[in-house]
Amino acid sequence: MKAIVVADENWAIGKDGGLLIHLPGDLKYFKEKTLGGVVVMGRATLESLPGGRPLPGRETIVLSRDAKLRERLAGQENVSVAGSVEELRDELVRRGMEDAAFAAGGEQVYRQLLPMCDEVYVTKIARKFEGADCFFPELSEENGWRLTWEDEPRQENGVSYRFTVYKRK
């Protein structure tokens, strides 16, 4: 599995149930990377999307223990619910997607799925946001990750950010 995340210099990823900043270029990058594949997200992240609906053009597996969510999403195309990490793993194996699926947040889901990931696409924002309440686990040489690629910085919405890739050592 891979993970994809946009984080600031403190590895902050969210605030008040939403993202830290609107970066259209990053949303486009997320779309390019995940289109046609499988994204895994927590129930809170699903609810943060427009209309609480999964993103079009890819399969979404939502992690949730909520039976009502399962009912609400039943019969909808391109979305299913896994009630545990074990159930998620079984589902990915069944689809032959255990290497290609993306963990797409939020914090709870990243923390549980990172041990299953060997590659992380990090969009790094060159800023420290005040009041952030969700974080990605820090990726560093000391905890077993190597920065293998980074793009040139780009500017948008008053911030500088760059696309990077980390691989497990």
Ligand X SMILES: NC(=O)c1ccc[n+]([C@@H]2O[C@H](COP(=O)([O-])OP(=O)(O)OC[C@H]3O[C@@H](n4cnc5c(N)ncnc54)[C@H](OP(=O)(O)O)[C@@H]3O)[C@@H](O)[C@H]2O)c1
CB of 44 to ligand X, least distance (A): 3
Could you tell me if 43 and 63 are in contact, meaning their C-beta atoms sit under 8 angstroms apart? yes
Per CB under 6 A, the list member of 61, 103, 106, 117 interacting with ligand X is 106
Could you tell me if 84 and 73 are in contact, meaning their C-beta atoms sit under 8 angstroms apart? no
The DSSP line for the chain is -EEEEEE-TT-EEEBTTB-SS--HHHHHHHHHHHTTSEEEEEHHHHHHSGGG-PPTTSEEEEE---HHHHHHHTT-TTEEEESSHHHHHHHHHHHT-TTT-EE---HHHHHHHGGG-SEEEEEEESS--TT--EEPPPP-TTTTEEEEEEPPPEEETTEEEEEEEEEE-
Per CB under 6 A, the list member of 1, 2, 14, 139 interacting with ligand X is 14
Residue 134 in the binding site for ligand X (CB under 6 A): yes
In this chain, which stretch among 16-24, 91-99, 113-121, 154-162 interacts with ligand X, using CB under 6 A? 16-24
Per CB under 6 A, the list member of 28, 65, 72, 146 interacting with ligand X is 65
In this chain, which stretch among 53-61, 70-78, 98-106, 147-155 interacts with ligand X, using CB under 6 A? 98-106
Residue 84 in the binding site for ligand X (CB under 6 A): yes
Chain positions 17 to 46 lying near ligand X, rule: CB under 6 A, are: 17-19, 41-45
Residue 54 in the binding site for ligand X (CB under 6 A): no
From the list 113, 163, 164, 165, the residue with the least C-alpha distance to 136 is 113
Per CB under 6 A, the list member of 1, 6, 38, 55 interacting with ligand X is 6
CB of 79 to ligand X, least distance (A): 14
Binding site for ligand X (CB under 6 A): 5-6, 13-14, 17-19, 41-45, 48, 63-66, 69, 83-85, 104-109, 112, 134
